[in-house]
Amino acid sequence: MQSRNHGRSSLARKTLAVFVVSAALQVAAFTVSKAETIYYWKDPSGIYHFYKSPPKGFVPRVKKESARRQSSYKSLSKRQIDRLADLFGKRHKVDASLVKAVIEVESDYNPKVVSSAGAQGLMQIMPETQKDLGLDNPFDPVENVEAGVRYLRMMLDRFKDVRLALAAYNAGPLTVEKYGGIPPFAETRKYVTKVLKRYRYNRSKVRQNVQPSK
């Protein structure tokens, strides 16, 4: 994240926008208890900067984004998408390293991708699942990641096992229950293996970053 140590007059000219993942994203069965507010601004080079709280020295302009307003998110970088994974992972109590692994395997961080089966966006959510989750715009990275993490949390709660939760995310929970475990589908088995491999790698990076320097 770039330094915010600028002059007061320069800070006053920057516009800080706020978007809210609000009740519009919710349905009764999957109510999100509290709205998530994320502050961001776009610098002159087109890079977005995200904050959990209003940065010091900024005068925020607050607005609630429409589900169809996705133009502001088209240029999100991998780092910024990872930031969303951190925020929503913490919110829904899902390891952010797992969320990032799912995003990478599902879409390779491409928010516009559509699979041959019809899954859409960063976390490749199927249209019928989008309806259940109240996801209005699957190509909006913010909405997609929030809904995807929420759904992943549901699978973890349902199966109490990361491997089975990932299999359910890929093949559907009823399929996992039908076979009493990971279905005998090459695609699903490969998917679970790839996500777990990436998950372990992401966790190892986190551990390296938190180790005290010698």
Active site residues: 106
Put residue 58 in one of left, alpha, beta given phi > 0 → left and psi -120 to 50 → alpha: beta
Contact 19, 40 (CB under 8 A): yes
Q: How far is CA 174 from CA 104, 158, 169, 187, in A?
A: 25, 11, 11, 17
